[in-house]
A = this chain, B = another copy of it.
Amino acid sequence: MITATEEDYIKAVFNISQNERKEMVGTNQIAAKMQTSAASVTDMLRKLNAKELIIYEKYKGAKLSALGTSQAMTLLRKHRLWESFLVYKLGFAWDEVHDLAEQLEHVKSAELVNKLDEYLGYPKFDPHGDPIPDLNGTLTIRNQVILSTLAGSDTGVVVGVKKHDKQFLSHLNKVNIKIGAEIKILEKYEYDQSTKVMIDQKNEAVLTLAVCENIFVKPV
């Protein structure tokens, strides 16, 4: 038996590990993501270690065990399928669904998530472009790069976002960037590292580095 809180910690370890591209995750990083104290994290790491969901050594940090990774995949699958349902079926916007999925993902039932998957037609990606793990926990790998790595006159199609907070996604809405949008680099300004782009051959916009660093594109 794994609690909802334990599930969220497992997911936090997985996400940080992916984003930072390193195995071992530190106590403070987890505390920041979980919006809790470092002391609470230490307690939880000890418990998750005892349950063999993570491998943890005092002062060294934590990484997911095989069991923990499979749990993380199950949770990601649920989270992303619920987000897909909320957007594709109920008509929510992509910047409104994260907190809801954060709750729905903890509903206990393998049957439910599989029925949901079927109902949605087995989607491969969620509304933010994140891959949805299949029943075996396998993720679809996609050819993608960070928008900020494109050079002048390169073009890419938006396939995903790195951050999922409402503030960031609402900003993208304002400049007409959504999944599937075509972005052509017009000019990169050295001075403040901002970039002038053309979106869907219609809208011109200047994007700061903070924005370009968090958008995944498929180069065309």
Binding site for B on A (CB under 8 A): 86, 89-92, 96, 100, 103-104, 107-109, 111-112, 115-116, 119
Q: Which residue among A91, A100, A112 has the maximum number of chain B CB atoms within 10 Å of its CB?
A: A112
The listed residue (B103, B104, B119) touching A89 by CB distance below 8 A is B119
- Copies of this chain, tallied across the complex: 2
Residues of chain B within 8 A of A100, CB atoms compared: 107, 109, 112
A103 closest partner in B (C-beta):
B107
| Separation of A107 and B119 alpha carbons in the complex (Å) | 21
List of B residues within 8 angstroms of A111 by Cβ: 92, 96
Give chain A's interface secondary structure class: helix
CA distance A108 to B102 in the complex (A): 11
Complex-state Cα separation, A20 to B104, whole angstroms:
34
| Contact present for B103 and A116 (CB under 8 Å) | no
Task: Tell me the complex Cα distance, A111–B108, Å.
Answer: 22
Q: Hey, which chain B residues are within 8 Å of A108, CB to CB?
A: 103
B109 contacts A107, C-beta separation under 8 Å: no
Q: Which of B90, B103, B104 contacts A119 (CB 8 A)?
A: B90
Q: How far is the CA of A92 from the CA of B111 in the complex (A)?
A: 9
CB pair B90–A115 under 8 Å, yes or no, is yes
Report the bound CA distance from A90 to B91 in whole Å. Answer: 17
C-alpha gap A108/B89 in the complex (Å): 19
